[in-house]
Structures are given as C-alpha cells and as structure tokens.
Structure 1
C-alpha cells in the first residue's frame, strides 16, 4: 500500500472468519417467504456462529438492522437475541439500503466508545409478501392511506414524486451513459458471480440453512441464490428499456435473507478469529446526498468525499465492491472516479445475487473482506446507494 490512513475506530476489530450469510433467494421463490424473518435471522445467526465455532456467550451486545416491518418488530433486538440464545441488550436500526453498512459502523462505534467488547451485527429482510400499512391521514382527501411497504416505496419517493428506477434513468442521461456499455457491464457482473460460485468462494461466505414450520416439519433448505441464471449480452440487448439504459436485466431483484458479523476489541478478535494473525479495522466512512432523483450518482460522491478525508486514492484500494441495484451505478462510478468497472465486484454483487435491502451491504462487506484476505491484505472500499438519493462509503483495512 502506497499510502496509509489512521483509523477513526482504532480499538475496534472484525474477527476474521466469524461472519456468515444465508443465500439470498429471489422474492417468492423459497420457503423464506413463509417465515418470521426476525426469528429466522436470530436462529440462523446462532447456527452460523456454531459452524464458525464461536460461542454465543462471548457476545455482550446486539445490533440488528432491517427495513421491512415484521411480526413483533416492536421488540426488536431483544426478541431476536432470544432466538439467538442469549438475553442480550441491543437495538434495531435502519437506513434503507445502507442499513447493512451503517450497522457495521455503529457496532465499531459501540466498541470504540468502550460500551461493549463483542457486538453482534445481524441484518435481515423479507421482501416477499411485505405487509400493507393503513395510515390515518387527516390532511389527505381520502383520510386514509394504504401502502404496500416494498412495492410502493420502490415506486414513489415522497420528496421527489419519482421512482428509484426513474432516478437511474435520470443519471444515465445526465452522464451520457450508453446502453451498450450497460449491457456489457451487466453480462460481466454475471460472469464474475458464476466464477465466484464455481471456485467455491461463495461457500466461504454463505451457509446453507434449513427451515422448519411451526410444527417443526421441514419447509426446505436455503442453499443457493435462487433465481440467478446465466445471461449474456445478446439477451440483455434484446430487452425493452423501462427507462434510459434500464431494463429488467440490468437492475437487481428483490430477495430475502440475513447476514451477520462480529465487531470486537482487538483482544477479543484474536481470541475468536479463525486466523488471529489477521487484523481487520474500519478506517472511516462518509455519506452524501445527491440532487433530487439522482440516487445512482450518490455513491461515487461519497467515495470522493471519503478519499479526500482519508488521503487515500483509488490506486490504494486492493478490493472495491459496491451495492449496485442498477448497472448504471457502476457505469457512473467508473466514469466519475476514472476507475475501470472490470476491476471491481469480483465473485459477485447485488446486481446479480439480489437485494433483500437490510443485509445487502453486510454481505458485500464480508465478501470484500474475504477477497482481501485472499490477496494478502490491503484497503477495502465498500459503498452503495440508499433511498432518498443517499450515498454511503466505508474503507476497511485488512492486515
């Protein structure tokens, strides 16, 4: 690494190999559509920690993150901790699609501030069959507003009146992105995913998980990113545009799932890690808000802000990985930062394996950290967009 940067969280570590994720089946494609996702997430975290040989008793705090309402969500982290198997204190947080990264930052702050020694981070969501909310609204002529949580929020930003898809079209036109590049980029992202799958890389991140119904009978096993199929540029070119450079093939799909990792003190990390010689630190994070209905350009702006703050450059990054709900995100980032999109998102990305919202960026983080370990360490850049034209970025260091 040519440049070094001091960490804003020098006392916090992510112990290597204590993390894990479910696979992310596309919505309505698996038994996950039929379960309480909070309960599933807690029980699955216990299963993953058992597989990683980390006793739950080491945890002293739990931060959970989700974006879609689930049954008994009012009881948030305390309910999920009960499913995990230890009566932990903690809290629930959400920041739309940035939830998975923000939860990791909050856990690092919890450790850095001396409040906890070992924080469990657990993010999850079930977009399948999302609840419908009925809101009394005296200011509206209808007096009552009914919202389908996932579908209606995807389709309408109350501050702009536009949809998320429209924001991708806006940014494609603003930056003069060509449809041909978007199709080529998307096809390349699929190639990366299947290379990661065939090499066994994804098996180091995702853990097959069994599902039971309320009678304890098997519902099935979540053992792959259901719904992901090989696709090539020719098939993508044949798809109808929904907006500029956006087709059904060049955007992600909604999914269900969970992801977990731990943030601990340095001493605790050495105790729990599968490879205690590896030190993983969060260096810094940055957030920005782009112009109205320009969500896909916000992540690049956040990265620019973060690099300026840390004194690092893209050349210092060993691994670059993002949450890319639209292929437009990566094309605009590449154009803005002068960074070849072929060099990022090795082994897969949300554009391909799906977007369950809450856990999306947490899975991006652990995939990026695994890749950095394979490369012998270095700086890791993780970033993504969130509803409201927000961009968030964070840099980790793997030694």
Structure 2
C-alpha cells in the first residue's frame, strides 16, 4: 500500500515548539519571526541542507506586522532566499491544508522537497480598523481579530461553543460523557511526560530556549507545554456549562495558545536523504475535506475522514492510530460513534483538547505526534482529522514503515 503514496515525509525532519497558553511566555513574540528562530535551530540540529528545499508553504491564521510578505519573508530569514511558495490561512485546518499543498506540489513533479512552516500567536491578537470615509462622520468599523471571531461565525451567526452544543444535542452527548473523555485525554497526555518528556523529546527540542521579543538573546528555558490544566475530577465535574442550559464547560474545550511547527514533505528519494532515520519511511496516502450544515462544526471531521480514506484506498478498520484536533470533547465522541473507532484508542500521548490550540500549527503537531506513535509501534497506518471554523474539516491518512 505504501507505494501508492502521494508524497513522503522525511522522518525526524520535523519539529514543534512547546505550546504555551495565551498571554504566557510566547505572548510578545512575532509569530513569523519566532517560527524562523525555531526553524533555523531545528534545521541545523537535524542537519538539513536548505539547498535541497525547492518549495515552501507557510500557514498562519493571525496576522502579524509584515505578514503580507508571508512565505518569502520566512524563507529568506531561514537562509533559503531561493525558495518561494504560498501562505495559507484555513482556520484550524491550516496545517492539513499546508501539508496537502506541499504533497500536491511534489506529486505533480513541480518540487522535490517542500518545507512546511506553521505558526500563530493567539496572544495579543491584532485590532483592525476598516476605514469608511463615505460613512456618516467618516467612521469605519473595527475588529478584534481573535475575540470577535471566537464569538461569532458571520455566516452561521453563532459562537464556536454553540456548534458543540448543537452536536451534543443531536447526538445525545451528555455532560458526564464529555467529562469522562477529558479525563481520559489528560491521562494519555501524562504518558508523553513520562521519563522526562521522553515522547516529546522525539520531536521537540527540550529544554526549549525562549528568545526576547527582539530575537537577540535567550530569556529563559521551558521544559515543555505551559498552561495545561491538571486533571482534577472533582473540579472538572463541578464546573458550570458555558451556556445556560448547555453541556459544554470550559473544562470540556481547549484553550488558546501560541507556538509553531515545521515539517518536510518530499519525493521518496529526497525524503530518505533528508530523514534523520532513513530506514523509517512516512507516506502520505490520502487527504480529504468536508463541510457540514451551518453550526455543526465538531461533526465535520466524519465526512472529511471518509473522503481521505477513500482516496487512500483503505477503510477505518485498517487504521491503527487516530489523532484529532478536538477543540471540544464532543468532537471525539461523535467521531467514535460515527466511525466505530474506539475512543480509548484515539489521541495517545495527547491532543489539542489538552495541550492547547495555537490554530495554525495545531494540526501539524498532531500529525508529527501521530508519526512518532506509529514509529514506536513499528509502523502502521494513521489518520489525522480535525474540524475548522466555518463548519469544515480536513483529514490526512499516512503510513509509517521500517
């Protein structure tokens, strides 16, 4: 089956920062410049020759000063000014879309090795003013990029938490079941912290050096993710729902965060040449996208998954591991019910419900963790799936061998 790959991922030639709850240690770092800070050191540590890279994709969802220049700016700062490519913004599906674009560029022969960089700083989001000189008094409109868009989908006319409540109501998902999933996911994340973060160290350079906002010196070192809430069953079950009469609490959803991640997608031979362990191969078998009816976002990964499976030529029964971007516990519950994949087999070693959601890089960290989980098992097929704003979702099927 692995011979039917669209493209390949260079095993080990990827990385992620720890994720830090918003307004924390990364809150004043320009996200694109921070991505180059991280990427430069990660590529050097992994002995990646940038002359081998001939395409790039940048994914982010929160504008930063100068981000108009996007991917070319990042590649220039990384030391690869010969590399061009697009900048992608597809809400929480940004990582999956960026990987898909890179794979398609490789598949059609336009590139041999693509560097995908994803980043976001949800902290201190921009406040944008839209001029309207012909309006009464010349007064325009303003937007808080983060908080206003969390609070209202301009098409569905609901806050994101309401999409979770709609799914909970339709599928009969009660509060107790959501709490049970949160506690399960917290226990799985604890496995990644064992033996001094042994799992995270497979792709995360720890302790992680945090630069100053000018990127001139290291201000401090952190040992891993910051802002993950400890799993306290009593406190979790005592929380009140966010919406009166609802079921979703703040404990049953993820928290905004900051961070970045990178990965190399390439032809088979180039992936082997750039891999840290050439004997391990990672194939991208299929991708899928879907959109469901308005205000039912957490259900969208189900049809996106089926499309990815169909394109990969496999069934759910042939998938060994699943990683989800699960901004709400209801995401995993509806997915398990509709696909039959056991809840307890999903999201080993953690997920965005626990370690947070920097938006652009969230899915890429999940894909990287999926690769490492499969490598630890000696190989197998994996599925990444996650919903995105606008009641949409993307899914990616991979296979690890060797």
Q: Does residue 188 of structure 2 align to residue 192 of structure 1?
A: yes
Structure 2 unaligned spans of 5+: none
Give me the TM-score of the superposition, normalised by structure 1: 0.94
Residue by residue, what CA displacement relative to the aligned partner does 1:235-288 show, whole Å, maximum 9, x if unpaired?
211000113321111100000000000011111111111221222111111111
Find the counterpart in structure 1 of residue 128 from structure 2.
133
Find the counterpart in structure 2 of residue 221 from structure 1.
221
Give me the TM-score of the superposition, normalised by structure 2: 0.93
Shift of 1:384: 0.2
The change in CA–CA distance for 1:120 and 1:222 in structure 2 (over 3 A counts) is farther
Find the counterpart in structure 2 of residue 248 from structure 1.
250
The answer as to whether partners of 1:318 and 1:377 remain within 8 angstroms in 2 is no
Shift of 1:55: 2.4
Q: Does residue 344 of structure 2 align to residue 342 of structure 1?
A: yes
CA distance in 1, matches of 2:23, 2:348: 27
Partner SS, residue 33 of structure 1 = coil
Q: Does residue 32 of structure 2 align to residue 38 of structure 1?
A: yes
The answer as to whether partners of 1:213 and 1:219 remain within 8 angstroms in 2 is no
The change in CA–CA distance for 1:132 and 1:213 in structure 2 (over 3 A counts) is closer
Q: Which moved more, 1:209-218 or 1:280-289?
A: 209-218
Find the counterpart in structure 2 of residue 109 from structure 1.
104
The change in CA–CA distance for 1:139 and 1:194 in structure 2 (over 3 A counts) is farther
Q: How does 1:374-393 map to 2 (within 5 A)?
A: 374-393=376-395
Shift of 1:372: 0.6
Find the counterpart in structure 1 of residue 235 from structure 2.
235
Q: Which moved more, 1:303-312 or 1:115-124?
A: 303-312
CA distance in 1, matches of 2:276, 2:133: 57
CA distance in 2, matches of 1:247, 1:284: 35
Find the counterpart in structure 1 of residue 88 from structure 2.
93
Q: Which moved more, 1:314-323 or 1:220-229?
A: 220-229
Find the counterpart in structure 2 of residue 210 from structure 1.
210
CA distance in 2, matches of 1:108, 1:217: 36
CA distance in 1, matches of 2:383, 2:73: 33
The answer as to whether partners of 1:211 and 1:222 remain within 8 angstroms in 2 is no
Shift of 1:220: 2.5
The change in CA–CA distance for 1:367 and 1:219 in structure 2 (over 3 A counts) is same
Find the counterpart in structure 2 of residue 283 from structure 1.
285
Shift of 1:305: 3.1
The change in CA–CA distance for 1:6 and 1:155 in structure 2 (over 3 A counts) is farther
CA distance in 1, matches of 2:253, 2:135: 34
CA distance in 2, matches of 1:342, 1:161: 34
Q: How does 1:17-28 map to 2 (within 5 A)?
A: 17-28=12-23
Shift of 1:211: 0.6
Residue by residue, what CA displacement relative to the aligned partner does 1:75-133 show, whole Å, maximum 9, x if unpaired?
11111112211202222111000001111111011111111111100000000000011
The change in CA–CA distance for 1:264 and 1:6 in structure 2 (over 3 A counts) is closer
Find the counterpart in structure 1 of residue 45 from structure 2.
51
The answer as to whether partners of 1:290 and 1:297 remain within 8 angstroms in 2 is yes
Shift of 1:195: 1.0
Structure 1 unaligned spans of 5+: none
Find the counterpart in structure 1 of residue 164 from structure 2.
168
The change in CA–CA distance for 1:5 and 1:288 in structure 2 (over 3 A counts) is farther
The change in CA–CA distance for 1:305 and 1:91 in structure 2 (over 3 A counts) is closer
The change in CA–CA distance for 1:138 and 1:388 in structure 2 (over 3 A counts) is farther
